[in-house]
Amino acid sequence: MRRMRTALLLGAAWLALGAAAWRRNAVWETRVALWSDVVAKVPDAQRPRRNLAFAYLDRGEPEKAIEEYRLALRLGGAAAPRDEAFIRNNMGLAWLALGRLDEAAADFARAMERDPESPHAAANLALVRLRRGDAAGAEELARRALALDADNGGALEVLGGARMARGDGAGALEPLGRAVRVDPDDPERWFNLGTAQAMAGSAADACASWSQVLRLPGDPGLLAKARARGAALGCGPR
């Protein structure tokens, strides 16, 4: 009887440990769950909130990301220039995801003020200007970002986009080609390069670039656009 009782107690202990392990695995299952768990334990720490905000942004929930970034700022981001710049830049990306260009521009500009040596906010503000139709302003900021980091892919894309907006497809080839070399696994960069090549009259090169888009995993809408443009240009199967 005593041996059976001991076995039952040990079995109950293993069940309890198993339940605890299952709960811990559920917490670590996603980054949002992980950092939500950390924030619940240390609600006044800034870095976990920054990480939770990024996890929300990465999961496609920019509103929640903004809320967490604002809390992170209240927890001391404004006291450290680079910390505030980092948070403001990422919060700007969240606004950009929502199509809120004014709010995005304000946060990117503040990030540039707090950390003038970082190229990221300059490249992102350049993108805002390009989306507003200010090709000259976008190119100016993209060049500023590239002076700080010659391989900043975002700035290279904006520089190429600004030149295409002015009708200069040939001038867009160099920065967009460099952007592809920086990250050859980004289908959007191949798509943009193909667009510039088609604008510059290099049909074969455009077909090759759009074909590359189809070989990479990406947004279905982008793949459909690459197929449509390839068909319109008379690109054969590859």
pLDDT in tens, 91-134: 999 999 999 999 999 999 999 999 999 999 999 999 999 999 99
99 Rama sector, left if φ>0, alpha if ψ -120 to 50, beta otherwise? left
Give burial (CB, 10 Å; 0-12/13-18/19+) of 227: middle
In the chain, the amino acid numbered 186 is: D
pLDDT in tens, 44-75: 888 889 999 999 999 999 999 999 999 999 88
Query: What percent of the chain has pLDDT above 70?
Result: 86
CA distance 82 to 218: 32
Decide which of 210 and 33 is more confident.
210
CB 195 within 8 A of CB 165: no
CA distance 45 to 47: 6
Q: How confident is the model at residue 31 (pLDDT cuts 50, 70, 90)?
A: confident
